[in-house]
Amino acid sequence: MAGEAPIALQDVSYTYGKGVRQKQILFDISTSVQAGEIIILTGPSGSGKTTLLTLMGALRSAQQGSVKVLGQELKNAREKTQLQVRRQIGYIFQAHNLLDSLTISQNVRMALQLGRTKRSESKQRITEVLERVGLGAHIDKYPGELSGGQKQRAGIARALVNRPRVILADEPTASLDKQSGRDVVELIQELAREDGAAVVLVTHDNRILDVADRILHLEDGRMRSLTEAVSEGTSRMLNLL
Amino acid sequence: MFDTLPLGWLQLKHQKLRLLSAILGITFAVILIFVQLEFREALFVSAVRYHSGLDYDLVMVSPRTQYLISAKEFPRNRLYQAQGIPGVSAVTPIYSRLANWRNPIDRSSSRSIFVLGFDPSDRGFSRILTPQAHDEIKIPDQVIFDRMGRDEYGPVADLMSEKKSVSTEVNDREVTVTSLYAIGTSFGLDGGMITSDLNFLRMFPKDKKTSITIGLIHLNAGENPQQAQTRIRSAIPTDVLLLTREQFMELEKSYWNNTTPIGYIFAFGAIIGVIVGLIIVYQILFADVQDHLPEYATLKAMGYSQGYLRNVVLQQAIILGILGFLPGLGLSILVFEQAAGATRLPLDMSTESALQIFTLTVAMCAGSGLLTLRKLRGIDPAEVF
């Protein structure tokens, strides 16, 4: 497996629905993400970026082409394989998606107990990761008692506690103000670099594009280079003026 | 998995008001089930109070007899015929009827009372009556009264503790209560008295001495009742029924259970209790799962399996069952103490029936949990993005 990219897509297409209602959402996507690399996936809504992210996250089965995550082929994968891959991925959700009835440390523990950490180490691991995201003082609080930015940090701590080699994030800054959004992204960047994880970040937020090593732009289910997209957008804007 | 967080419990605990209302609902259902089943049990236990209090190995009754209080008559000679058969040591003919008892304090009020008459020199009543009481009823118009009967018969026991005897009218004949025994009431029986065969016939002058309603048969020590039953049956005419103790009690129970609607009503009540409980638990769990669907989808996205989520819901169901059962048990015991005092029915809850109802409650909750699980099947982890 040495040298193999943690995420490798080859000619991936995806279609929703059946018969006349059938709608193809992704067309022949090929790309790969290396360890330690941060990819930002942009595009207008409906362009298929969330679908692409769920394919990488083993939340959907790929229909055509090949999706390899951490060496596992996910095309037509069985539930068991999917679960196995999901456990090795750190997800950061758009809305933090913490469990309201658990404290912050219990939320992190829900992720930790899926991994292989020994009981004796687990408490320390949880404290460590929460301190790293700046929530050391809020370990035993419930999500309802935290601010939006703090909740998102807790979500990041949960995603990273197992030191995953793949991190997927869907609009992690969507519900945050400018400063907390910036903090959150920089945190992801810093942690990803330290752990050498492959990161895919879906976003609309132009303010955070600079953290990316590479930007992928999706439009109508097809991959385009950012320069093409930007120049087309600019010329349309000029025409309008 | 090591030291896993009890997610089901933590989720229940987080919404205290909902948890409380769920527990109250289940408690209500548990009380309903307890009361219905316990009254049903009391019905059966109380129906065979005389059956189990009397001393006998086999009993002879008329085939038309459906239950004790309205035992039908049969020729006393049948019992004497059985006496001559090897293995039989003695027989006791018993007369029984409902008589009209006047309240000794308020003579204008009367109530029917179950009267048993037997020859005091015969065996069969030694567990109910003292040897002294056996002697007392040899004297004309002296009777022994059941102090566990209903209050409407008058405060006979209280009067007895003040003076030696209490007089009143039974079937318009003056009788004297000289001592007391303790049997108790049942659904068909409010109270009773025991006297000699001769006194019995004095109260019922139109009854024939040669017709009895119950014939007790005592066997020699070591004799097998089933074998003796077969032997006697083949030797006497088939116009009487010959029963062992168990069969005699079974006859009475099956009358109350099958022929009257009473047994059915209580069983039905218990079923209603289970259904009410099922619906309550289902409602609560359903609302709970509905609220947590996004969280469950998140867990699936993190790599938790469908089986894990199923266990969470079942865990909640069983916790609710246990938490609802305990106050239900406590309140039921209180209810029974009250009801036992008021009705004099044998309403003591056995550990066995408490355990049975506990199992039933947990099964009821788990059943609701399983119904809720259909909701879980539709969770698509891809929807959380």
| 180-239 of A, contacting B, C-beta below 8 A | none
Strands (E), chain B: 58-61, 74-75, 88-102, 110-118, 142-146, 166-170, 173-181, 192-196, 211-212, 214-219, 241-244
Q: What's the pLDDT at A77?
A: 84
Q: How far is A44 from chain B (nearest CA, A)?
A: 16
| Dist CA B67 CA B250 (whole Å) | 10
Q: B7–A102: do the CB atoms touch at under 8 Å?
A: yes
Average pLDDT value over all residues in chain A: 86
Tens of pLDDT, residues A21-74: 888 888 888 999 998 899 999 988 888 888 899 999 998 888 888 999 998 888
Q: Which residues of chain B have pLDDT under 50?
A: 1-2
Tokens standing for residue A226: 């950012």
Q: What's the pLDDT at B231?
A: 93
Q: What's the pLDDT at B1?
A: 40
Residue B241: how many CB atoms within 10 A of its CB?
Answer: 17
Q: B7–A110: do the CB atoms touch at under 8 Å?
A: yes
Q: Return the residue in A94, A99, A156 with the most chain B beta carbons within 10 A, the one to mutate for interface testing.
A: A99
The structure tokens 């089930």 sit at: B33
Q: A54–B1: do the CB atoms touch at under 8 Å?
A: no
| Dist CA B358 CA B368 (whole Å) | 15
Residue B359 identity (one-letter amino acid): T
Residue A222: how many CB atoms within 10 A of its CB?
Answer: 14
Whether the CB-CB separation of A58 and A76 falls below 8 Å is answered with no
| Dist CA A90 CA B381 (whole Å) | 14
Cα atoms in the Cβ-side hemisphere of radius 13 Å centred on B359: 6
CA-based nearest residue to B191, from B277, B258, B104: B104
Q: Return the residue in B12, B380, B385 with the most chain A beta carbons within 10 A, the one to mutate for interface testing.
A: B385
Tens of pLDDT, residues A151-181: 988 998 999 898 899 999 988 887 778 888 8
- Does the pLDDT of residue A190 top 70, yes or no? yes
Q: How far apart are the first and last CA of chain A?
A: 53
Q: What's the pLDDT at B167?
A: 93
Q: What's the pLDDT at A3?
A: 59
Residue B29: how many CB atoms within 10 A of its CB?
Answer: 27
Rg of chain B over Cα atoms, rounded to whole angstroms, equals: 29
Tens of pLDDT, residues B267-315: 888 888 888 888 888 888 888 888 888 899 899 999 999 889 889 988 9
| pTM over the 0.80 mark | no
Q: What ipTM does the predicted assembly reach? A: 0.88
Q: Return the residue in A59, A78, A141 with the most chain B beta carbons within 10 A, the one to mutate for interface testing.
A: A59
| Dist CA B54 CA B127 (whole Å) | 7
| Dist CA B100 CA B113 (whole Å) | 6
Q: B2–A119: do the CB atoms touch at under 8 Å?
A: yes
Report the residue from B1, B295, B384 with minimal CB separation from A113.
B1
Cα dihedral A205/A208/A209/A212 (nearest 10): -130
Cα atoms in the Cβ-side hemisphere of radius 13 Å centred on A229: 16
Whether the CB-CB separation of A131 and A138 falls below 8 Å is answered with no
Whether the CB-CB separation of B183 and B53 falls below 8 Å is answered with yes
Angle (CA) A194 A199 A202, round 5°: 140
